[in-house]
Structure 1
């Protein structure tokens, strides 16, 4: 897995005025779906809301790789990444 991209993240952050989920995901190199799923969000968060940032290494998927190969099981992959889809060049959390 030589293409693992490492990035340290704080465990959580307090959302600032005007800051969006997309901003947070981009800043911390997180898949947006993973951020939404990890925080159980059904709507846009409000200013001052605490968001928890999932731990894990960001990895770029290569052709032929499966959820089970990357995370041990499809269930584990889905829980960490908030999606049941996997495609080459997708960035996921391991």
Structure 2
């Protein structure tokens, strides 16, 4: 029996280079583009939401200021002196002993 000397090619295990097929490449490319597109749309949507939140916060502050003004006005309207003033001006009411003088209409 003779021993064979293995050559360099025979001693290496066979490895195949795995190549992507064009269909696989196209599918991977489409999936990648879809993911990038979705991420971009999410970023845009997030920006719109942040802008809406900022705008709503500004509106909220304006409404809170208006609410405070209205509450102050309500307190002023409920005072006896203001109610008396309204009764005199709008209803023409007078106190006992007072005489109402109306201006002459032309």
TM-score bracket, normalised by the shorter chain, equals under 0.3
Structure ranking higher in helix proportion: 2
- What TM-score, normalized by structure 1, do the two folds share? 0.16
Structure ranking higher in strand proportion: 1
- What TM-score, normalized by structure 2, do the two folds share? 0.15
With CA pairs under 8 Å and 6+ residues apart, which has the higher RCO, 1 or 2?
1
Larger radius of gyration: 2
